[in-house]
Amino acid sequence: MYGGGADAASIVKGVRNAISNLQHVSSGASFSESKYFNGSINLNQGEIRRGLNSPAVEAKLDAMRRLLAAEASSDDPNVCVDLFSEVVKIMSTTNLELKRLVYIWIVSHAEARRELALLSVNSFQKDSVDSRSALVRAASLRSMAAIRVLEMIQVVMAAVNQAAVDSSAYVRKSVAAVCLPQVFVTDIDQFALVRNLLVKMMATDGSELVVGAAAMSYFVVCIQLYGLVQDDEEHEGSSAGTSKQEIIQDSLGMLHGVYPRLIKLLPLMDPFG
């Protein structure tokens, strides 16, 4: 999608890694049970499948840990990808630890099993409006946005638009800091929608943390990443004959209306966006 030299490639790689890092799914994504990484443990795929299909939450947790450990210790990261449908079935769990592990695994394998990734859409949508937990809403949105499958992009944008006015500042910050940049990386045709939503969040959101995150993402998407787009690459929202630099200048011009507010809130913003 992007052109440019080695520096441009490294910037894109760095940004992609940052916004799709599994730590965005949930904090503390690590295993305390070292036994799962012990080579003597039996990581038989049949046992993992039985655990995933078990009605017991502890059995499902054990199976997911074994599944992730099996792939971490294998030369083939898709060694257990045939279990995709079994993993999707347990997305509806109310156990947050189990849900976190499921999200991590699905995001890791969605591009390899695009048709199966679509099976997870309904569960992600339900979790993105879960009134019981802002953590679940944010995690589902981050995970959906991290799945770079074009067939899902309209669903992701619909969820992101709704979440941009969520009652929780944590959810809204997730939209600004993680979801919108990832949407652009997945589909450049969403540029105008992403840009407009970031401007709206900078102009109207009541949390300085959300405004700061939106400002940082605006710079990353509209200046840094858009600057790497091929000069002759057209996309939805661009006009024939309009140069890349003109679009970047237009993006800078859109900040004039929110500039006074950004200056006022600057001392209160998170320095890391």
Q: What's the confidence (pLDDT) of residue 109?
A: 86
For residue 71, which amino acid is it? E
Given this model, what pLDDT does residue 30 score?
Answer: 47
DSSP 3-state of 124: helix
Residue 110, pLDDT score: 86
Dihedral sign (CA 232, 235, 240, 242): negative
Token digits for 54?
A: 């078990």
90 in Cβ contact with 103 (< 8 Å): no
170, two tokens: 């944590």
Structure tokens given for 109: 């394998």
User: For the chain, what are the domain ranges?
Assistant: 1-21+155-273
pLDDT computed for residue 39 by the predictor:
54
Whether the CB-CB separation of 15 and 225 falls below 8 Å is answered with: yes
Q: How confident is the model at residue 24, as a pLDDT?
A: 40
* Both structure tokens of 61: 């947790």
What's this model's pTM, rounded to 2 decimal places? Answer: 0.80
Place of tokens 């669903």: 155
pLDDT means over runs of 10, the chain (273 residues): 43 44 40 52 79 96 89 75 90 93 91 84 93 94 93 95 97 97 94 97 96 96 87 62 85 95 92 69
Please state, in angstroms and rounded to a whole number, the distance separating the CA atoms of residues 90 and 81.
15
Residue recorded with tokens 């946005």: 145
Q: What is the pLDDT of residue 124?
A: 94
Residues 6+ apart with CB under 8 A from 262: 202, 211, 215, 255
pLDDT (0 to 100) of residue 171 = 98
